[in-house]
Amino acid sequence: MRTYLVLAHRTLIGQHLLDHVRSLCEAEDCRFYLVVPVTHPRDHAWSDGEVEAAAQRRLAEGLEAFRGVGVEATGETGDSNPVYAASAAMRHRPFGDDEWDGLIVSTLPPGVSHWLGLDVVSRLKREFDIPVTHLVAPRDRTEASA
């Protein structure tokens, strides 16, 4: 069984990601571990409880969306630093001793994505010795994925 870590927040339930996940599972059995980093709002003061609750809601939506396309998924919320969040989840080994077959990063489009400004995808590729797939949400869906 192939095991993938999915790193996303605002784009976790995007059709672009769900289509990719479905295509991976057509060839062989797959399971996914979703990591949703907390996101700090820029338009108001926030509390740790607020950002954790928002990430937990997004994780629940993601788990439901993945189940909706017929794939096995579990997950966790993570640190606001997406590279650290992915690293912590990979060390945790939620599926026991199984190795990771890949890391899927889903972001908003360039110009909108905070993660791309932080060079998250390149940093993940340097950090891990597994394939890293970068998926970008379509620009017209950016508002809907908030």
Residue 59 token pair: 């994780």
Could you tell me whether strands 72-78 and 132-136 are parallel, antiparallel, or unpaired per DSSP bridges? unpaired
**Contacts (Cβ under 8 Å, ≥6 apart) of 137:** 10, 11, 14, 16, 17, 106, 107, 108, 109, 145
| Per-residue pLDDT at 144 | 40
Whole-prediction pTM: 0.89
Using the structure block, give the residue that is written with the tokens 């996101």.
39
Separation of alpha carbons 91 and 114, rounded Å: 25
Residue 61 token pair: 């939506």
DSSP assignment letter at 112: T
What is the tens place of the pLDDT at every residue in 28-81?
999 999 999 998 766 767 677 788 899 999 999 999 999 999 999 999 999 999
| Per-residue pLDDT at 146 | 36
Separation of alpha carbons 12 and 10, rounded Å: 6
| Per-residue pLDDT at 42 | 67
